[in-house]
Amino acid sequence: MNFKEYSLEKRRLLLELKNILPLESLKRSLKDSHSRRRPRPCGMTVHTAIGCVFDCIYCYIGDMGFPTDRVQPYALTSLELVYALVNNRYFVPSLYGTYVAIGSVTEPLATPSVRERTFEYMSSILKYLKNPVQISTKQYISEEIADRFKALSRRGPISILITIVTLDHYRRLEPKAPSPTLRLESIKNLCKKGLKPTLFLRPIIPGINENEATDIMLEAKRAGVASVVIGGLRVTRTILRKLETLRFDTREIKKRLKGKRLLGNRQVSVPYSDIKRELVEIARNIGIVPLPSACCANTYNIFLTSGIRIPCYGLCYTNMCLNCPVNCIEVLPSIDEEDIRYAIARIVSSKIDIHCNKGLLMIITRSKRDRNRILSKDHLLSVLQTIYRRRIVVRAE
């Protein structure tokens, strides 16, 4: 897909949905934050519910203002959600477009009503937009629910991340979530149906759970996973306080923060690259494919389930690649200079030069004013980055 085809496809989808949805729904969609929010590196986050009651000690949704004492399905219908996404200026529909990430600030399978909403959203996204979908969960997935995932996966790729970060401390760290044993059972049930779930080993909490990582990977491998995403902890003042109240030893976290102050609700990443390096090696020895990020898990799942190699949406191949079998760098889309000029001509009319190497697309303008005008349209640059799967740099000559 190039930029012209993307523009046409968006117009077609808008017309199609306008013909289906009543005026009230169209208005509701446009007011919703899904029609405006910027994608994250893992893709466009889609909220299928608001809140979560699993009460994980390392969770930051309370700090973000989401409820932690209740969970309810998101208010939009699935078609309203799809319409909101199509109106989002950062969102590129299609299998080769923006990844969709479900479950970042809630548990998307928390209750039967939330689960229904999640399945409705996934189903409509795959039907109308065709974008790769990813869901992360701690909920127990029975054989019956695994069957529903399987049925849905016939419409398009669904990457399923099963979070397990502890086998020993789950009662203290994740007091109201299903036990790791049940989550291992979820993996087995999904694998039985021919799906390819990924172990989501996140967050690694230095000094608290990294010693368990090997056992978790071994158990997950026995249950059937072929890949693992290893991720770090983002800590806030409240999270640190909760860990200490529960008598966890937080000295290692503090040591790694090197005196960085935790202010207000600010999330601070705890450095852990040394631990990650070690765990990546262990995963390889165990025979699981280590992946650097959730979007790589999405990319790898597309490859495993359909044989299609799509370069990772988050451009992880440029800075954190772990050389999984997708080999993103070898399948980058070719550059259509005329198409890029066509896109940029919407912002500035003067000539531009285009240079491209493997991971970089450089746009060179004739003046600083033109450069600044292009940089001010970050949604358009984001769309080009998604289409051409390269970091975009804009410079004045």
CB atoms within 10 A of CB 173: 23
The amino acid at 160: I
Which of 21, 46, 49, 52 binds ligand SF4 (CB under 6 A)? It is 52
Q: Among the candidate windows 113-121, 325-333, 345-353, 358-366, which touches ligand SF4 by CB under 6 A?
A: 325-333
Residues 95-134 contacting ligand SF4, CB under 6 A: 106-107
- Does 74 interact with ligand SF4 (rule: CB under 6 A)? no
CA–CA dist 348, 339 (Å, integer): 14
- Does 312 interact with ligand SF4 (rule: CB under 6 A)? yes
- C-alpha distances (whole Å) from 89 to each of 94, 151, 255, 308 are 14, 31, 42, 26
Residues 150-209 contacting ligand SF4, CB under 6 A: 177
Q: Give the residue with the Cβ less far from ligand SF4, 79 or 205.
A: 205
Instruction: Give min distance, CB of 330 to ligand SF4, in A.
Output: 9
CA–CA dist 223, 90 (Å, integer): 38
Entry field: residues in the chain: 397
Where b means 16+ CB within 10 Å and e means fewer, 210-234 reads bebbeebbebbbebbbbbbbbbbbb
Which of 61, 129, 173, 230 binds ligand SF4 (CB under 6 A)? It is 61
Q: What is the DSSP letter of 314?
A: T
Q: Among the candidate windows 47-55, 73-81, 276-284, 331-339, which touches ligand SF4 by CB under 6 A?
A: 47-55
DSSP H helix total and E strand total for the chain: 15, 14
In angstroms and rounded to an integer, the radius of gyration of the C-alpha atoms of the chain is 21
Which of 39, 43, 49, 54 binds ligand SF4 (CB under 6 A)? It is 54
CA–CA dist 78, 56 (Å, integer): 28
Instruction: Give min distance, CB of 311 to ligand SF4, in A.
Output: 7
- Does 291 interact with ligand SF4 (rule: CB under 6 A)? yes
List interacting residues with ligand SF4 (CB under 6 A): 52, 54-56, 59, 61, 106-107, 138, 177, 291-292, 296, 299-300, 312, 316-317, 321-324, 326-328
